Chains A and B, each alone.
Chain A
C-alpha cells in the first residue's frame, strides 16, 4: 500500500460532519475507519509504516488498517477497541470529525461518548452474523441521542460472496428496528472494509447495488441547519468584569450560543429567575460591538438592565423560552458500573449549572429485543436505557432534547468522587408502552 497525504486546504463553511462508528465487537469499525482514511489519502507515510511493521510482526499478510485508530497498548494486544479514537479528515466537499467507538458491551459508555456529538452514526454489522444484540443496543443509543442520520454498513461482504440475498434481509430487519425507534433517516450500504468495496471506491463485485459508496453518502448527507430559525440560548459560563480604567463599568456574560441567534436590542429572559431585559451589546472574542451572535459562536453579551446574572443562568429569546421546573422527566442511559436506584441523591449538571437532585422514581427500562418499556425496574444498571423522574434542589430551564441537544441534556454525577453516572435527555421516551 502507498500512503499519500493530500488534505484539501479549503472546505466550504458550515459543512463539517461529525460521525461515529457503532456496532458489535469485531464487526469491522476500526478497519472501516482505517480504510476511509487510507483511501481518501489522509494517512501519513510514517503512520502507515508503523502499522505495516506491527502487522508483519503479527504474521499478517497485509496492513491491518484497524491499527491506525487502535492506538492504546491494550487495544493492540487484545485486537479490540477500548476507548474512542478521534480522527480528522477532509475532502474538497466537506470536513469530517470521526469518532471510532468500541463495540464491546463493557465499553458501551465510551460508545455513548463518541455518539453524543455525532450527526451521523455508521452502524456496522458482520454480513455473516446479521443484526445482533449489540447492534440493537447501539442503534437504540443512537436513537436516544437523536443522532439524525444512521447508515447501516453491512460489512465483510467478501466473506459471503458479495451476495444480495445476504444483504437484503439484514437491511430489512435493521430498517424495521430503527423505524420502531423513530430514527428519521437510515441508508444501508453493502461494503467490505478489508477489501475496500463501496467505502471510497465503488465495488466491482456487487453489480446489484446501485446506491452511493459510503464516502459519497457522507459527503452529501444534509446536516446544514440554519441557527436563524431556532430559539436562541446562551448558558452563562463566566462573568467578565475587567475593572480596568478603560472598561471600568464593563460587565459581560461570556458563553457559547448553543442555539439560535442574538442581536443587540433583542428582548431576552434570564432563566431561571425570569427577569426580562434587552441585549445592550455583543462582543465576540475581542471584537467589540458585533451585530449578531449565532450558534456555535463563543461571545460575550452585555445586558441593558442591571440584573443579577451569574454562571448557571441561561439567556434565552424572550418569546421562545423553555419551561423552568424542578421536576425532570427524562430518558437516560446509565453508564456507570454502580447502579442507579430510586431515592439516590446525586448532582445534576445541566448547561453550566450543577444542582443537587434526588431520583424520585425509576419508571421503566427499555427492552432492546421487543422495544417495549418494562415498568418499575428495581435499579438501572450499566448500559440500561430507562425513563426516570428527578426532583432538583433548584429550578432549571429545561428544553426538550429533541429540539435542543445542548440545553435538553444533562449528566448525573456522584457527589462523593465525581463519577459520571448517567446521561440524561429531557423529553419523549423511546419504545412503546406494554
Chain B
C-alpha cells in the first residue's frame, strides 16, 4: 500500500491518464453495444489495446472476443504470439483469411503482391457474418493525417464506409454509439496516444511483445527504399539482392509491405531512445501502402479499412 500525502496535489501521470481514458472508452462500448469485437493483429497497438481491456474489466473476463484479419503473409513469430496470448487468457478468436478469398476468386492478388488493401472485404464480411456492432481498432491519431481527423466512436454505414465529411460531433467524453441496423461503429481507445506513449506504456507495464520488434539479424532485400523480408509472397525479384542486416520492425503488418528499419535496439529502453530521435513517422519509415498516394489512407478508410 502506498502512503497518501493528503497535502500534495493529486496529479495523474501522462501514461496513467491515457490508460484511464482508454479504459473508459472500453467500458462505454462494452455497455452500449451488443456484440463488440477487438481487432487483434499481434502488432504492438493491438497488444496494448488488449492489455488495457483486460485491466478495465478485471477481475472479470474481457466481455468480447478478438478478430484477426489474416493476410496470409504473416510473420511466424507474430502468429505464434497471437495463439499463445489467446490460449493464456482464454479468449475467443475469429480469423478472417484473405487467402480464402484469393483461393475461391472473390479477391485477386495484386501485381505488387501487397495484400494490405485486400483486408477490407474479409473484414467487412466478418463484421456482417458475426453481426459485430462495435469494432475496437488500435488506430492512433498521430499515425497519419486522415486518422488525425477521426472520432473515438466512428460511425460506419451499412457498407462499412467512413464519410469524413459527415462525422458525428463528439463532445466531452459523451460518446454516442447509436446506429441503425446494419451500421456499425469503429471504436479507437488509443486515439490520443502517440507512438512514443505506446512504447513507454509497454515499458511501464512490462508487456511482452513478438521478438521482431527488437533488433535481430535478418535476411532482407531493398525495395522502394525499405528493407523487406524475402518470402513466397513475391520477393526478391530481378536485381534485388539479399543481405543480412541488424534490423527491427517498427510496425507489424503484411510482410509484403511492412519494412524493417536498421537498428541495434535490443531493449525497450533502446527502442524508446531510438524512436524519440527518429526523423521519420512510423508509417513513413515502414509502410509501402501509404506511399502509394497522397490520400492512400483516407481512401482505404472510406472503403472500410481499419
Contact = CB atoms under 8 A, between A and B. Distances in A.
B85 interface: no
Given A46-B284, A292-B4, A13 B172 contact: no
A291 B279 contact: no
Contacts of B144: 71
B20 A409 contact: no
A301 interface: no
A74 to B, nearest CB: 6
Contacts of A13: 11-14
Contacts of A405: 172
A51 to B, nearest CB: 10
A93 interface: no
Interface stretch (B55-63, B73-81, B101-109, B131-139): B55-63
Given A87-B148, A291-B1, A409 B21 contact: no
Interface residues of B, number: 69
A65 interface: no
Interface stretch (A175-183, A193-201, A410-418): A410-418
Nearest to B147: A71
A226 interface: yes
Interface string A232-261: 000001101110101100101011100001
Given A240-B57, A417-B180, A296 B171 contact: no
Interface stretch (B26-34, B120-128, B250-258): B26-34
Nearest to B200: A9
Contact of B168 (A16, A240, A419): A419
B174 interface: yes
A138 interface: no
**Could you say which of A3, A117, A296 has the most chain B C-beta atoms within 10 Å of its C-beta?**
A296
A138 B6 CA distance: 39
A50 interface: yes
A110 B171 CA distance: 9
Contacts of A71: 144-146, 148-149, 298
Contact of A95 (B6, B14, B19, B155): B14
A85 B149 contact: yes
Interface in B215-253: none
Nearest to B176: A420
Given A87-B148, A250-B59, A409-B172, A285 B10 contact: no
Contacts of A283: 58-59
A11 interface: yes
A117 B24 CA distance: 15
Contacts of A237: 24, 27-28, 31
Nearest to A72: B164
B12 A14 contact: yes
Contacts of B178: 347, 413, 417-418
B294 interface: yes
Contacts of B172: 116-117, 405-406, 409
A311 interface: yes
Given A254-B27, A410-B174, A411-B171, A297 B12 contact: yes
Given A256-B20, A409-B171, A228 B278 contact: no
Interface in A61-104: 68-69, 71-74, 76, 82-88, 95, 97
Contacts of A294: 10, 12
Contact of A50 (B23, B58, B294): B294
A6 B275 CA distance: 10
A336 to B, nearest CB: 8
A11 B294 contact: no
Interface in B169-196: 169-174, 176, 178-180, 191-192, 194, 196
Interface of B: 1-2, 4, 6, 9-14, 16-17, 19-21, 23-24, 27-28, 30-31, 52, 54-61, 141-142, 144-146, 148-149, 155, 164-165, 167-174, 176, 178-180, 191-192, 194, 196, 200, 272, 276-281, 284-285, 294-295, 298
The 9 closest A-B pairs by CB, nearest first: A71-B145, A14-B11, A418-B178, A46-B284, A298-B23, A285-B55, A242-B60, A298-B20, A116-B171
Interface of A: 3-7, 9, 11, 13-14, 16, 44-47, 50, 54, 68-69, 71-74, 76, 82-88, 95, 97, 109-110, 112-113, 116-117, 224, 226-228, 237-238, 240-242, 244, 246-247, 250, 252, 254-256, 261, 283, 285-286, 289-292, 294, 296-298, 300, 311, 335, 347, 349, 352, 405-406, 409-411, 413, 417-420, 423
5 contacts: A5-B279, A44-B284, A69-B148, A261-B10, A296-B17
